[in-house]
Structure 1
Amino acid sequence: MLESEHRTLYKKIHDQPLFKGTSNDEFTGLIAECELKYFQSSEKIIYFKTAEEGLFLILEGSAEVFIENNKGLSVLLEVLQEGEMIGFSHIAHYLGETVHPLDKHRLELEIMEDSFGLQIPASVIKKRLLDDSVREFILRKMAIRLGNVYASLGEQVKLGDEWGESEPFVRRAQDLMSSPAITIHIDASVEEIANLMIEHSISSVMVVDDANKLVGLVTEKDLVQRVIASGRTLPLKARDIMTKKLYTVSQNAYYYEVLSTFYKYGVKHLPVVEGESLVGVLTFHNLLSKRDRGSMGVLNTIEISSYGDLPIVREAIYDVLSNLIQDEISTIHTLEIITRLYDRLARHCVKLAVQSLESQGKGLPPVPFSWYQMGSGARGEQFMVTDQDHFLVYADSTNKNERKRSDKYFSLLGEEIVRHLEKAGYARCAGKMMSNEAIWRGSLSDWQNRLQTWAIKATDEHILLGYNFLSFRFLYGQSALNEHFKRMVQDQLKSSQTFLYYMALKEKDHPVPQFNESFFSLFRGKEKREMIDIKLHALFPLHHCLQILGVIKNVMGDKPLQLIEGLVDKKELSAEFADDIRHAYEVALSARIQMSWQKHLRGEKITTEIKFASIRRWQRAELKTMLDTVHSLQSRLLAKL
């Protein structure tokens, strides 16, 4: 860690209410008993093995908190963000009020992004509890937590009576929000804000202007960071400390849309609006306390599943998908939700694969590694499990013996990953684009040489490999290695313009069909008359064009919608044309999902072909507009040749 980072973290610790006000010598002594830890994204931590572990404080980053009982069942409790901590349930033990600590449950933290955390042991907590200000701080935190527990318990009992074991998928923000929202004027003082929060037992206040228009919000975190921790003495008003960049949800937004917004933006308070009017507020805890048991149960099913249980997970995800389709949730949002579940399943399979090798006596990974998905899974389009597309990257070794050991280990790991994914329902790729194949795993140097070979020998096979590779998305492993890998790929592709040229030429050989009088002549065949393959004639050209334009503009490794945003930022696409592409993408995906799902329900073979005689006139018009847009995107790419 750099010295500047070290100082910044220690200042954050000293500014925490647990340590604030201590002298430098006293603080140095206390911090020497604590343990500062760095955690990588997706890393899991078992907490509360013993009461002596004390409190755990997130200094930077965020983590999901699960509670696990003695039967091994996990339930998502909350999301910890910067400045928040867990471990208050043992305070009574530290104060001597209980002889034995709580030992019925333990907590598991899953790191959501690279994070720094501080473990504050019981020995430090006991010393600091002698300070009245610390006791008051802990009392306040415990009172809030107790209130949340009772609210959550009451809500679950109510839902149990109302819904039983059914799936209340159709609840919307207006059914979940607190209303009316507590508001305060933009010129209100900090004291007024704090008193209002205490009066209503809330953790956030909506800020409005003279026209009663929502302009910001103030949370407890804002008060701590921008008032207390900053040490500012000037009279402060709401406008000085409020969070101005707001994310809102419509009162008609489905539960899933709200949950995705919380996760996407990392916020814990969401104003609920009707048009431009503020009608309520949702907190992340509020949403979790009112969650439907079925959808959250899928997460639990994934997290606790063993190798033998993996087939059950797929069926659980299909149940969620069925309800989303039935409730007519938008295609893009449906895929966001399902992709999150599939991502968790894939990560879990990799984790189980690593554990399997360890249990076989093969040890742990000898060097850091990263695992990537390709194809529809990487693009976030995998609404049903298909075949496998993935690869492995691992760090270079310092000597031949270490290199030999790494190659052997990751060869075994690649096979274990394929085996676990196959158990979960993912068929082995017919083209063998999987990390158990030597061509789809290797060290950083191996991958650099591989990309150079593809570029120098731009054969049809290498171009096909390039198309599949360029859709990669990092899913598991070390974030630092992933960043190194992405930089290497970007640098390599910058010097491979000829390869990109040949990739673009392939698009010229496969033009997107246009919907005109001669349209059907392109598809005349004995059994394929008046048909279009939505994947071959729309989605593939769209993806290929975005991939190539993305590489040219140094935007890569993202899902299609993110690629479109990146190309707009780089001035490659106009905002208007980007909107057209987004709409075309959703039309194509919607057609594919609806058609494939109906075939799945009927037990028919899944295909991506659409027979025009089976769809309505307005659907044909949508497909025509969609194909015209993809054709325009393809023409834009070809114009660059």
Structure 2
Amino acid sequence: MLESEHRALYKRIRDQPLFKATSNDEFTALIAECELRYYQKSEKIFFFTTADDGLFLILEGSAEVFIENKKGLSVLLEVLQEGEIIGFSNIAHYLEKADRPLDKHRLELEIMEDSYCLQIPASVIKKRLVDNSVREFILRKMAIRLGNVYASLGEQVKLADEWGESEQFVRRARDLMSSPAITIHKDASVEEIANSMIEQSISSVMVVDDAKKLVGLITEKDLVQRVIASGRTSPLKARDIMTKKLFTVSQDAYYYEVLSIFYKYGVKHLPVVKDDSLVGVLTFHNLLSKRDRGSMSVLNTIEISSYENLPIVKEAIYDVLSNLIQDEISTIHTLEIITRLYDRLARHCVKLAVQSLEMHGEGLPPVPFSWYQMGSGARGEQFMVTDQDHFLVYADPKDKHERERSDKYFALLGEEIVIHLEKAGYARCAGKMMPNEAIWRGSLSDWQKRLQTWAIKATDEHILLGYNFLSFRFLYGESALNDRFKGMVQNQLKSSQTFLYYMALKEKDHPVPRFNESFFSLFRGKEQREMIDIKLHALFPLHHCLQILGVLRNIIGDKPMNLIDGLVEKKELSAEFADDIRHAYEVALSARIQMSWKKHLRGETYTTKIKFSSIRRWQRAELKTMLNIVHSLQSHLLAKL
């Protein structure tokens, strides 16, 4: 440790209320019994194993405090910042008034950033408790801690009543942020910044420019390090001391996604934005005080998984799905949450595939590439792991040599992605719609020629390929290449109106059942009278109609709900009709999820067919209304032929 750092730490200890009133000799004697320790980030400390461990003071850095629950899992109690102390629960024991409460529990500290900490043993605490000022200090600290405990407990009880185990996956940044965020102009003086923090009782301010655009962030730590500790005498302004590299979060981000940013980047203050406008701020400490770290487990499981342990990720996501279904979270909301988790898993598999090729001597991708999902995963409907549906696009090589290298590399990458997804639980596609097949990978030019071929030869096979392709969604790779690819697809489809016409005719050949007659008279045969296929009779027609209408209105590569919004914006659908379609879509998905999840729990084969004898009359009526709405959408498309 540098001499200057040693002096700074010594001064912080000397200024602590526990030691402040002591003489130099007394302080020297007491500090000799204490132990100054340095810990590295992520280091774990098993503290409070005995009553003699005393108090633990964070001099520099921060740490998380965990306690082991009945299942043997660590649950987050609190986050300790610089100057904070843990161990006050032992005070009653030192005064011989109560048994030591932590004898029944296992407490653990995890260091969040490199830290200097002081362990103050029980022997020192007992000697200092005779001083009234020390007793008042400890009483004050314990009162504050008790208040925080009750506030946190009340918040968790409230959230448990409202959301159950799903709270961390349902709450969004906008529900948790402090708003409005306190801002200050980039030319504000240090005095103005400090006064603003004191007046507002906040630990950070957002810095904005003349246009009210967010340009920086200033925390109490910035003031200490960049003003007081720097020793600069010249006048400083906000722009001189602010942190310019900002991490922001959308107001629509989920609780667990916000936590992921805090952990990944090690920040403690996070501006919340809507589009590009600042709407609030979240602090790490406040966020964690509302819920334990259990919501992070599934993210950690995904992000740290290797090829060997990819299979455990599926079960982690299924646990989340089970909680969402049990807590009766809406179907659309449930699928949005689960889709984000599956997207993380899929991206992680592609990343691992690229790393695998590099480890085996194939190097890095020779040209930029983009990876896309199709089918239920792309539409955001995949609530349980199904089969694979995806393709690869890579930039046009510059010459013959680069072409050969690119074709070889992406053939290997296509196979490697399929292998990794298979390891994660995704079965190989029976129709071979995966990039280990030449038809589902290629350069930008290859894909343009492929689409031209489909359009010129509008066979049943090509129309089927077109339906599947048009559900694509960009998930991994270079955004600039994705923009060029989407632009190419839009231009190609504009000149392929005949192909779209034939796609629409397919809908005419497969009309959605209507219910002007008896419900069961529409289906022929004993088995058909008892069953309806939610995928065949509802979801496929709905998706196909939205896809074709989207292409006609220059909207591609989006989820169904976003497609509906886009079609309303383009005046293709009325707002009222769009609401009906959204409702029909949710009814169809809800029926599919509830039925399939029950079969999954019973260990039965997954199916999209609904047996009428297994549902109630009101559910039949709801299905009837839903199918009538999908039929109306189909009629709307056919009217445009």
Residues in 2 aligned to 1:444 and 1:553: alpha-carbon distance in whole angstroms? 23
For residues 631 and 390 of structure 1, the distance between their equivalents in structure 2, rounded to whole angstroms, comes to 29
- State the alpha-carbon separation in 1 of the partners of residues 257 and 327 from structure 2: 13
What's the TM-score once normalised by structure 2's chain length? 0.63
Change (3 A) 1:281 1:473: closer
Deviation at 1:452, TM superposition (A): 0.2
Deviation at residue 227 of structure 1 after TM alignment: 9.0
**Pairwise CA distance, 1:248:** 8.1
Contact kept in structure 1, 2:165 and 2:327, CA below 8 Å: no
Counterpart residue identity of residue 283, structure 1: L
The 1:228/1:486 distance shift into structure 2, 3 A limit, reads closer
RMSD: 4.2
Measured in 1, the distance between the counterparts of 2:544 and 2:290 equals: 42
In 2, Cα distance between equivalents of 1:597 and 1:399: 51
Inter-CA distance 351–630: structure 2 relative to 1 (3 Å threshold):
same
- Equivalent-residue separation in structure 2 for 1:157 and 1:307 (angstroms): 42
Q: How many pairs are equivalent? A: 448
Change (3 A) 1:155 1:393: farther
Q: Secondary structure at the match of 2:435?
A: coil
Structure 2 CA distance for partners of 1:604 and 1:498, relative to 1, 3 Å: same
* Structure 1 spans left out of the alignment, 5+ residues: 1-47, 49-66, 68-74, 76-87, 90-103, 108-149, 185-189, 205-218, 231-246, 272-279
| Paired position in structure 1 for 2:591 | 591
Alignment partner of 1:169 is 2:155: no
- Native 8 Å contact 2:612 2:620 kept in 1: yes
State the Cα distance separating 1:490 from its structure 2 match.
Answer: 0.4
Offset from partner CA, 1:518-547 (integer Å, 9 cap, x none): 442333334332321111111110100000
Q: Does 2:412 match 1:412?
A: yes
Aligned-pair CA distance for 1:269: 4.5
In the TM superposition, 1:76-475 aligns within 5 A as 168-170=165-167, 195=195, 197-202=197-202, 220-222=206-208, 226=212, 268-269=271-272, 283=282, 285=284, 286-287=286-287, 290-475=290-475
- Aligned residues with identical type, % of pairs: 76
Preserved CA contact (<8 Å) 2:174 2:251: no
Q: Which amino acid aligns with 2:381?
A: E
C-alpha separation in 2, matches of 1:450 and 1:391? 13
Instruction: Indicate the SS of the match to 2:212.
Output: helix
**Does structure 2 conserve the Cα–Cα contact (< 8 Å) formed by 1:307 and 1:352?**
yes
Q: What secondary structure does 2:362 align onto?
A: coil
Q: Which moved more, 1:349-358 or 1:521-530?
A: 521-530
Contact 1:269 1:284 in 2 (8 A): no
| Equivalent-residue separation in structure 1 for 2:580 and 2:314 (angstroms) | 34
SS in 1 for 2:557: coil
The answer (yes or no) to whether the contact 1:514–1:628 under 8 Å persists in 2 is yes
Aligned CA distance change for structure 1 residues 227 and 307 (closer, same or farther; 3 Å): closer
Retained in 1: the 8 A contact 2:271–2:280? no
Structure-2 residue corresponding to 1:483: 483
For 1:125-161, what per-residue CA distance to the aligned partner results, in whole angstroms no more than 9, with x for missing partners? xxxxxxxxxxxxxxxxxxxxxxxxx99xx889978xx
The structure with the larger Rg is 2
Give the Cα separation in 1 of the matches to 2:344 and 2:290: 22
Deviations 1:397-437 (A, max 9, x none): 11112111111111010000000000000000000000100
- Contact 1:203/1:220 (CA < 8 Å) preserved in 2? no
Distance 1:335 1:398, change over 3 A: same
Q: Are the structure 2 counterparts of residues 481 and 181 from structure 1 closer, same or farther at C-alpha, using a change threshold of 3 Å?
A: closer
Deviation of 1:610 after TM superposition, in Å, equals: 1.1
Instruction: Tell me if structure 1 keeps the 8 A contact 2:534–2:609.
Output: yes
Q: Which residue of 1 aligns with 2:7?
A: none
**For structure 1, which segment, 520-529 or 402-411, has the greater mean C-alpha deviation from structure 2 after superposition?**
520-529
Per-residue deviation, 1:617:
1.9
Deviations 1:104-143 (A, max 9, x none): 9889xxxxxxxxxxxxxxxxxxxxxxxxxxxxxxxxxxxx
CA distance in 2, matches of 1:157, 1:418: 49
Q: Secondary structure at the match of 2:532?
A: strand
**Which shifted more, 173-182 or 531-540?**
173-182
Aligned match of 1:631: 631
In structure 2, do the counterparts of structure 1 residues 181 and 358 end up closer, same or farther at CA, with 3 Å as the change threshold?
closer
| Alignment correspondent of 1:62 | none
The answer on whether the counterparts of 1:177 and 1:281 sit within 8 Å (CA) in structure 2 is: no
- The 8 Å contact of residues 256 and 296 in structure 2, kept in 1 or not, is answered as no
**What secondary structure sits across from 2:591 in the alignment?**
helix
Residues 105 and 586 of structure 1: is their aligned pair in 2 closer, same or farther, counting only changes over 3 Å? same
Change (3 A) 1:543 1:155: farther
Q: CA shift at 1:225, angstroms?
A: 6.6
CA distance in 2, matches of 1:459, 1:350: 33
1:290, distance to aligned residue in structure 2 (A): 3.6
Consecutive unaligned residues in structure 2, runs of 5 or more: 1-40, 42-62, 64-73, 75-80, 83-110, 115-143, 183-187, 217-249, 263-268
Contact 2:176 2:287 in 1 (8 A): no
**Superposition deviation, residue 621 in structure 1:** 1.8
Change (3 A) 1:403 1:282: closer
Change (3 A) 1:516 1:194: farther
Q: Which residue is 2:565 aligned to?
A: 565
Contact 1:156 1:290 in 2 (8 A): no
Give the secondary-structure state (helix, strand or coil) at the position aligned to 1:529.
helix
Corresponding residue for residue 38 of structure 1: none
Structure 1 residues 292, 168: CA separation in 2 closer, same or farther (over 3 Å shift)?
farther
Post-superposition CA distance 1:603-637 (Å, at most 9, x none): 11111111222212221221111111111110000
Q: Answer with 174-183 or 351-360: which moved more.
A: 174-183
CA distance in 1, matches of 2:534, 2:358: 44
User: In structure 1, what is the Cα distance between the partners aligned to 2:173 and 2:347?
Assistant: 33
Shift of 1:224: 8.4
Counterpart in 2 of 1:496? 496
Q: Relative to structure 1, is the Cα distance of residues 155 and 423 closer, same or farther in structure 2, using a 3 angstrom cutoff?
A: farther
In structure 2, what is the Cα distance between the partners aligned to 1:392 and 1:178?
Answer: 39
Alpha-carbon offset, residue 293 of structure 1: 2.6
Task: Note if contact 1:170-1:327 (Cα within 8 Å) is conserved in structure 2.
Answer: no
Structure 1, residues 364-395: CA drift from partner, whole Å, max 9, x if none? 11111000000000011111000000000011
175 and 505 in structure 1: CA distance in 2 versus 1, 3 angstrom threshold:
closer
CA distance in 1: counterparts of 2:442 and 2:537, whole angstroms: 33
TM-score if structure 1 supplies the norm length? 0.63
Over 3 Å counting, the alpha-carbon distance change for 1:196 and 1:599 in structure 2 is same
Counterpart check, 1:535 vs 2:535 = yes
Q: Is the 8 A contact 1:169 1:292 kept in 2?
A: no
> What is the distance in 2 between the residues matched to 1:508 and 1:284?
55
Q: 1:228 to 1:607 in 2, by over 3 A?
A: closer
Give the aligned partner of residue 607 of structure 1: 607
Q: Would the aligned equivalents of 2:256 and 2:295 in 1 still touch at CA under 8 Å?
A: no
Q: Which secondary structure does the structure 1 equivalent of 2:401 belong to?
A: helix
Cα 1:289–1:431 shift into 2, 3 Å: farther
Runs ≥4 in structure 1, deviation > 6 angstroms? 104-107, 154-159, 171-184, 190-194, 227-230, 256-260
